[in-house]
Amino acid sequence: MPDLIQRYVDALWGLTLEMSPYLLLGFFIAGLLYVYFPKGKVAKYLGKDNFSSTLNAALIGIPLPLCSCGVIPTGISFYKNGASRGSSVSFLISTPQTGVDSIFATYALLGLPLAIIRPLIALVTGVIGGLVTNSISSPDTKENANEIISATEVALEKGNKIGIMLRYAFVEFLQDISKWLVIGLLLAALMAVLIPDDFFINYLDNEYLSMLIVLVASIPLYVCATGSVPIAAVLLMKGLSPGAAIVFLMAGPATNAATITVIGKVLGRKTLVSYMASIIGGAILFGIIVNEFLPREWFTSYMDHGAHGHGSHLLPHWLNVTSAVLLILLLINGYLQKYWKRNKTSLQKTEQNMAEKTIKVNGMTCNHCKANVQSNLAQIQGIENIDIDLESGKVKMSGDRIDLAEVKNKVEGIGYEYAGEI
């Protein structure tokens, strides 16, 4: 048992060493995108039912560091503010598959070929999904796209952009993905220790059967694009085919039960069908292409260097260690800030003549969700103060007049569940 624990710790530390420098770089670029390329100002490029809008949506979505829980409110907001169904679906398909952080993490553990192939797959499947949606859906009758001006963008206009960038990159965004990043690393290290080498070759040697099993397991579950990388790396090391790894890297981040429910509810069943067909068909198609037409060595060469990727051969060891320690400290800081914020009263005392209401909103899973709900509720006349507890889903509002029917319509209109007053 002590030997098993030691092997587990060594595997976990090795994965962390390899990913940390690239993750930190990815987080920094995510902060730059957040400040200098705010997502609320791009909806005007997504408003037509044509190839150009679907392509724009995919190109915009690929570098954005949004996981599937964060991309849903953003994509729905685009649609509500004038984007076509096709471009909305293109954005919803392409965005969660990649992001600057996951691209760097893919390069760290899986090599350059996969780091290039992942965004290309996201681009192709996003565009195809958008075009299919446009072809089977009735034309939208909404007005021309309006710019979405969120509370975040107002803050960017008035605040210190460098401070906002650093806080978003290394606090807010890190908080959003930290849970799934840690889970991904823990699971990957566990699989590295418990799964025998060449497991898939000896026990599941049919590449296409393993592809289907991975697809079925991936669709209902949630795993973020970055958290999926160490798991895929270990599975490849144990003999999983590169095509099946592609299926996991694509279907895992892009689908989960919550995403499927919201898309069906807000965009309609036809749109949901085209969304799922594009992801499932694209995953299988690209899995076959990778297995049949690309050299296997492109995706497994990192195994020649042991359990870790090629990153240790490009970066000095001290940089890997320093980055790993910094990443761990940032993760701890993120959890401590969540704890402190949850245990202090953030809603200031209001005047006695102001109404106060507390409601429950289900479906908020990250800071993007929280900001989306907050900025939309702030648009309702009569609401002056809003305080949201992300963990419990409680939304406290105060103001001269609070119309709960209007609040309900606003919450449900952006894809969340209004669970009533509490």
Burial of 327 (0-12, 13-18, 19+ CB in 10 A): buried
pTM for the full predicted model: 0.76
Distances (CA, A) of 77 to 138, 150, 260: 19, 11, 16
**Alpha-helix residue ranges (DSSP H) falling in 148-206:** 151-158, 161-167, 173-194, 199-203
**Paired strand residues for 358:** 396
Q: How far is CA 104 from the centre of its chain?
A: 15
Residue that has been written with the tokens 């958008």 in this structure? 130
For residue 325, which of 317, 314, 313, 315 has the smallest C-alpha distance? 317
Question: What pLDDT is recorded for position 246?
Answer: 94
- Picking from 188, 180, 260, the residue whose alpha carbon sits closest to that of residue 220 is 260
- Is the CB of residue 251 less than 8 Å from the CB of residue 279? yes
Cβ–Cβ under 8 Å, residues 401 and 371: no
pLDDT values of the chain reduced to their tens digit, one per residue, 422 residues: 788 899 999 999 988 998 899 889 888 887 887 787 655 555 567 767 788 889 999 998 899 877 666 677 677 767 766 778 899 899 999 998 988 989 999 998 888 999 999 999 999 999 999 999 988 876 654 444 344 445 455 555 556 788 888 888 898 888 877 887 888 889 889 988 888 877 877 777 788 899 999 998 888 777 788 889 999 999 888 889 999 999 999 998 888 777 787 788 778 888 889 999 999 999 999 999 999 999 988 887 765 544 444 444 467 889 999 999 999 999 999 888 877 766 654 444 444 456 788 999 988 877 778 888 888 898 888 888 898 988 888 999 988 888 898 999 888 877 788 999 98
Q: What are the sequence ranges of the domains in the chain?
A: 2-327, 355-421
Query: Which residue type is seen at 39?
Result: K
Question: Which phi-psi region, left, alpha or beta, contains residue 75 (left: φ > 0; alpha: ψ -120 to 50)?
Answer: alpha
The Cα 267–Cα 324 span in angstroms is: 42
pLDDT score, position 200 = 79
Q: Which of 233, 244, 260 is nearest to 96 (CA)?
A: 260
Q: Give pLDDT tens digits for 341-395.
A: 666 544 444 444 567 889 999 888 777 788 888 888 988 888 888 989 888 889 9
Tokens of 336: 């401590």
High-pLDDT (> 70) share of the chain, %: 84
Distance CA 136, CA 240 (A): 36
Is domain 355-421 in CATH 3.65.10.10, yes or no? no
Alpha carbons 281 and 185: distance in angstroms, whole number: 28
Report d(CA 418, CA 328) in Å as an integer. Answer: 36
Give the tokens for residue 379. 């648009």
Q: pLDDT tens digits for 121-174?
A: 999 999 999 999 988 876 654 444 344 445 455 555 556 788 888 888 898 888
Alpha-carbon distance of 323 to 396, in angstroms, equals 39
Q: How far apart are CA 248 and CA 196, in angstroms?
A: 20
- Give the model's pLDDT for residue 79: 78
Six token digits for residue 153: 């963008």
Residue 397 DSSP SS3: strand
